[in-house]
Every structure is written in structure tokens, then in C-alpha cells.
Amino acid sequence: MAHYISRASLQNPLRLSNLTHTRWTITLARPAAVPQYRKMSSAANPNYEYIITSRPEPNVLLIQLNRPKALNALCSPLFKELNQALKDADRDDSVGAMVLTGSEKAFAAGADIKEMKDKQFADVYKNRFLGDWADMTKIGKPIIAAVSGYALGGGCELALMCDIILASPTAKFGQPEINLGVIPGGGGSQRLAQLIGKSRAMEVVLTGRMFTAQEADKWGMISRVVGEGEGQVVKDAIAMAKEISEKSQIAVQAAKEVVNEAYETTLTEGLKYERRIFHGLFATNDQKEGMAAFAEKRKANFTHS
């Protein structure tokens, strides 16, 4: 769950400082567009309203959140489209990895408060409100978050559910739900505690303050901060996704699975699990091809089988 900063809030520095207890100087401009890439064919690209899908590389799917007037606030219909696009890509053998991004100004500035403000306990509890947000964590293929601008509340939680986070120098993260009289509901408190430690997670969740890409990098929450330049974070994420897509899809999925297992079990059990998956890969054609190619000093031709 999350909080998003409205355009009105951005125009009023005092309102913004009330949310974060920190004064941020912000210059409004028209949202910068992510570099244009080839859109997917109509057969594979439903008429999405809240996301844009494209293929910047043959084996890479780029998903761009598309609610610019609301700073990509996360509403239920958006998440429904996002989950569908990710599931379709996970079943598509031509896709090796996915990149998720927003705009230069906002990756996603939070959940849509207008959608939530009048809900009652019985409604959100009985209907498992936000329960489908975690569906993307069940995707087998890697998802890379390319974060620029605001990633607050649900936007921060969305990035944390991705497998790799690349951030532009302008990225600002945070969990400001406390300012709305609630707490994170999309996994922010749990994932932050695992990634940056209890004390820092407490500070972020209890104060609601924003933190920079540089802080997130220092704390180990993200993979790295990319270089300066409009759209650079998306370019770097696509390049990384392309590199991953050239590997064996079976090995990549297995690698993602064992790394995630480290967060769910003890070290002893995790080591056993890793070894079992490692042994299992010897039943694949890609293992035979990969090792034969190495011995023969040539590039492997993986068949993902």
C-alpha cells in the first residue's frame, strides 16, 4: 500500500514538507518520455489503458507505467494490466527478461489514495485488497526495475518486488504511509527490514521520510545508481535484460529461484536446496551445450531445453 504525491502537493512545497519532514525543491515540467521502442504486435499487445508494452530488443519486454497525470499512481486496474502483461511474458518463450519503468518524474509515486480513502475494513479484508500485488513475485523470469524520480509507498514496494533495481541519480524512495494514518500494506515494511536492516527500516517507515538513490545504493537496497542523462536508467536496464536473455532460460529461472530461497529459509537448508537445483540442471540440454561450448571455446547456442 502506499501514498502518492499529487501534482497539487508538488506545487506546494509546504504540503510536501509536511509529508516528509524535509523540504525538497522541485521544478515542475512536462513528464519526460521514456525512449520510444517498437510496440508489440496487436495480437500480443492487448489494448492496455494504464501500461505501455514494447520490445526494445527481440528477447526483452519493456513495460512502462502510463498514468502521467497521476504520477503513475497505482490503482487496481493498473495492477491487473501489469500482472497480465507479466504473466503473458512469462509464458512467451521469446522473452528472456523484463524491464519495468515509469517516467523521468515518477516511477510510481504511490497507490491511488482516491481509490482507497472511502474503503471500509470489511471490504478490504474480505476482498483481499492489494492481495494481487504479490502476483508478480511468482513470475519465473527476471524483472528489472528502472527507477527514475519518485518511488514512494506502493511505488517503492513495486520496485522492491522486482528482482533487480537500477536507479537514476534523481530517484527518491520512501514509505510515507504513516502520514496518512496507516502503514505499508504491499510488503514495504517486511522487504525493507530484510534488505536494509531493522533500524533503517524503522526510521523510514516511522518517519515517512524520503531517501535518495545514493542512500539506497549505500544501504544495499538497489543494484546501483546509473549515470546521468534522461532515459539512461532505462537504457542500462534494457542492456542488462538483453545480456540475461542470452543465457539459458532454464538456468536463469533456476538462479532466480535459489537466490529468492535464501530469504525464505536457513543457510543450511538453502545450501541443500541450491545443490539440488544445481544437480537437476545436469538433466538439461542447455547444461550439455554450455559446457561443450566452453570446452570448445565457442559461444553457446542455448535452446532453453
Contact 209, 21 (CB under 8 A): yes
List of long-range contacts for 10-18, beta carbons under 8 Å, 24+ apart: 18/179
Q: φ and ψ at 86, to 5 degrees? A: -70, -40
Report residue 64 as a C-alpha cell.
Answer: 512502462
Other beta carbons within 10 angstroms of residue 160's beta carbon come to 24
Which listed residue (85, 104, 157, 208) is catalytic? 157
Contact 110, 155 (CB under 8 A): yes
Which listed residue (177, 201, 237, 251) is catalytic? 177
The torsion defined by the Cα of 237, 141, 260 and 205, in degrees rounded to 10, comes to: 50
**Which of 170, 142, 162, 172 is closest to 232 using CA atoms?**
170
Contact 248, 214 (CB under 8 A): no
Which listed residue (96, 149, 153, 154) is catalytic? 154
d(CA 183, CA 208): 10
d(CA 264, CA 48): 34
Task: Give strand ranges (E) for 27-160.
Answer: 51-57, 60-65, 97-101, 106-108, 143-147, 150-152
Which listed residue (73, 97, 111, 251) is catalytic? 111
Burial degree of 228 (CB within 10 A; 0-12, 13-18, 19+): exposed
Other beta carbons within 10 angstroms of residue 88's beta carbon come to 16
> Is 111 in the active site?
yes
Half-sphere exposure of 6 (CA within 13 A, CB side): 7
> Is 154 in the active site?
yes
> Which residues are annotated as catalytic?
111, 154, 157, 177
